[in-house]
């Protein structure tokens, strides 16, 4: 097992990783920008190294500075958290070249899944259902028109280098297609330096359901069920839950087995999330994420498995501590992302937290690095914490969530808590009756 892990991240996820290390008897190194000197994970870590100024490009994305921090402290592994360098294949390669373990999948798998066209072709070949669309890259207007007419409108033009909703354009008609294709292509070239494009049948009101998988270096692959992440705004998830209200035990088992088998054949290592759109009872692959995700705690709540602990064990070459038949899905969990933003306008609200009181009690977890008197810096994303509630049933989970939201006090900055207080009383939300555009429609009506 590793003796010392460097945490190449900040905020609640840096603290989350520290907690797993601490429980495993592994020393931690926090790296931080000058803006994060007073962060909770920096205080709790065994050692800390300042790696640069506030701008992420100069600190949390600064590979030479992070490698130097590893060398100075003698860290034998790096956990990248999510965002920042977590899906940077070059970072994983450079670490390996320095004899430092990247706690995550191989750089080849990161690269494969980073290319959305290659990823789709690879998983399709392994038996995962994909969205109908162009068989590969579409390189001309004529080809774009031909494949679109074949599958029928509306279609969605996507960039191979995109993902997470960046570089997409819907075309409702033949006339709109050429315009959408050229614009999306030019935007992809400008944004990613790569204008490889592909086209898919556009699904109108799907749910976003993702399957959590975990694989070790001994050939064991286990799926940990799904999360429903349909409640989003501008590609930012707001609330996630597990299990999905849209699936039954049979469909869960079926998609889980399809994903496990594929991931096993791929020789994948570590945790991964296979993202699907789900419409009219069918799953359609869209992307695979090769990192630990923000919403991993809902899976932890219903399975009792510590995903960060397992990531670290896998990276150290150990076997998974459970088999598929040992995984029992228990009850229901919901996560609310507490952002320092205005709950109506979503305008970021950095500043100093004055009063701070977190909810507690049975089935309530708060993952956050903030505290009373903490100053939220303006340089990073506005997620300041996550409220994760577990109950024996979805209804018990919702009742507990209402109670927990009522207890949560954050003063001094605006937060998304008032939005969640409204959402948990909405009839559609109570019924689990929503899709990826539901929240935007809800916000327009209220």
- Binding positions for ligand MV4, rule: CB under 6 A: 131, 156, 163-165, 200-203, 208, 232, 235, 277, 286-287, 436
Q: At what angle do helices 11-23 and 307-315 cross, to 10 degrees?
A: 70
Nearest residue (CB) to ligand MV4, 234 versus 445: 234
* Least CB distance to ligand MV4 at residue 361 (A): 32
Nearest residue (CB) to ligand MV4, 12 versus 275: 275
Nearest residue (CB) to ligand MV4, 77 versus 203: 203
* Least CB distance to ligand MV4 at residue 433 (A): 17
Nearest residue (CB) to ligand MV4, 102 versus 198: 198
* Least CB distance to ligand MV4 at residue 285 (A): 10
**Is 337 a catalytic site residue?**
no
Q: Whose CA is closest to 271, among 86, 26, 28?
A: 86
Nearest residue (CB) to ligand MV4, 7 versus 288: 288
* Least CB distance to ligand MV4 at residue 347 (A): 21
* Least CB distance to ligand MV4 at residue 412 (A): 31
End-to-end CA distance of the chain: 52
Does residue 104 contact residue 110 with C-beta atoms inside 8 Å? yes
Nearest residue (CB) to ligand MV4, 240 versus 306: 240
User: Of these residues, 207, 291, 313, 394, which one is catalytic?
Assistant: 291
Parallel/antiparallel/unpaired status of strands 27-33 and 4-7: parallel
3-state SS, one letter per residue, for the chain: CCCEEEECCCHHHHHHHHHHHHHCCCEEEEEEEHHHCCCHHHHHCCEEEEEECCCHHHCCCCHHHHHHHHHHHCCCEEECCCCCCCCCHHHHHHHHHCCCEECCCCHHHHHHHHCHHHHHHHHHHCCCCECCECCCCECCHHHHHHHHHHHCCCEEEEEEEEECCEEEEEECCHHHHHHHHHHHHHHHHHHHCCCCEEEEECCCCCEEEEEEEEECCCCCEEEEEEEEEEEEECCEEEEEEECCCCCCHHHHHHHHHHHHHHHHHHCCCEEEEEEEEEECCEEEEEEEECCCCCCHHHHHHHHCCCHHHHHHHHHCCCCCCCCHHHCCCCCEEEEEEEECECCCCCCECCEECCCEECCCCCCEEEEECCCCCCEECCCCCCEEEEEEEEECCHHHHHHHHHHHHHHCEECCCCCCHHHHHHHCCCHHHHHCCCCCCHHHHHHHHC
Residues contacting residue 326 through CB under 8 Å, at least 6 positions apart: none
* Least CB distance to ligand MV4 at residue 277 (A): 6
* Least CB distance to ligand MV4 at residue 273 (A): 11
Nearest residue (CB) to ligand MV4, 201 versus 403: 201
* Least CB distance to ligand MV4 at residue 437 (A): 7
Nearest residue (CB) to ligand MV4, 139 versus 235: 235
Cα(235)–Cα(57) distance, integer angstroms: 22
Cα(262)–Cα(96) distance, integer angstroms: 26
Q: Would you please indicate which residues are annotated as catalytic (active-site) residues? A: 291
């Amino acid at each position: 097992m590793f003796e010392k892990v460097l945490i190449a991240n900040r905020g609640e996820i840096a603290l989350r990783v520290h907690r797993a290390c601490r429980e495993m008897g592994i020393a931690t190194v926090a790296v931080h920008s000058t803006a994060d000197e007073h962060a909770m994970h920096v205080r709790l870590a065994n050692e800390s190294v300042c790696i640069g100024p506030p701008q992420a490009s100069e600190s949390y994305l600064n590979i030479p500075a992070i490698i130097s921090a590893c060398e100075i402290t003698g860290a034998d592994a790096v956990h990248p958290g999510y965002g920042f360098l977590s899906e940077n294949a070059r970072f994983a390669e450079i670490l390996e070249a320095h004899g430092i373990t990247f706690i995550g999948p191989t750089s080849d798998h990161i690269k494969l899944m980073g290319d959305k066209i290659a990823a789709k072709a690879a998983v399709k070949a392994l038996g995962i259902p994909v969205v109908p669309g162009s068989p590969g890259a579409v390189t001309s207007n004529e080809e774009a028109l031909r494949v679109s007419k074949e599958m029928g409108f509306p279609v969605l033009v996507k960039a191979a280098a995109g993902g997470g909703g960046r570089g997409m354009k819907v075309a409702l008609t033949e006339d709109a297609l050429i315009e959408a294709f050229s614009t999306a292509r030019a935007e992809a070239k400008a944004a990613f330096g790569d204008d490889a494009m592909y086209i898919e049948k556009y699904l109108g009101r799907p749910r976003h359901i993702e399957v959590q998988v975990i694989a070790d270096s001994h050939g064991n692959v286990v799926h940990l069920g799904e999360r429903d992440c349909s409640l989003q705004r501008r590609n930012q998830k707001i609330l996630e839950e597990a299990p999905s209200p849209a699936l039954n035990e049979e469909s869960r088992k079926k998609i889980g087995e399809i994903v496990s088998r594929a991931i096993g054949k791929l020789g994948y290592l570590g945790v991964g999330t296979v993202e699907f759109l789900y419409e009219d009872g069918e799953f359609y692959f869209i992307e695979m994420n090769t990192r630990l995700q923000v919403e991993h705690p809902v899976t932890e709540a219903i399975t009792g498995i510590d995903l960060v602990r397992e990531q670290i064990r896998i990276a150290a070459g150990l076997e998974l501590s459970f088999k598929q038949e040992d995984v029992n899905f228990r009850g229901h969990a919901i996560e609310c992302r507490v952002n320092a933003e205005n709950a109506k306008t979503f305008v970021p609200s950095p500043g100093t937290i004055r009063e701070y009181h977190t909810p507690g009690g049975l089935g309530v977890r708060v993952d956050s690095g903030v505290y009373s008197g903490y100053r939220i810096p303006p340089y990073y994303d506005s997620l300041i914490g996550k409220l994760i509630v577990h109950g024996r049933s979805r209804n018990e989970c919702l009742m507990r969530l209402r109670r927990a939201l009522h207890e949560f006090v954050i003063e001094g900055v605006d937060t998304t808590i008032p939005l969640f207080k409204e959402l948990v009383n909405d009839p559609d939300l109570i019924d689990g009756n929503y899709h990826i555009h539901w929240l935007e429609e809800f916000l327009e009506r209220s």
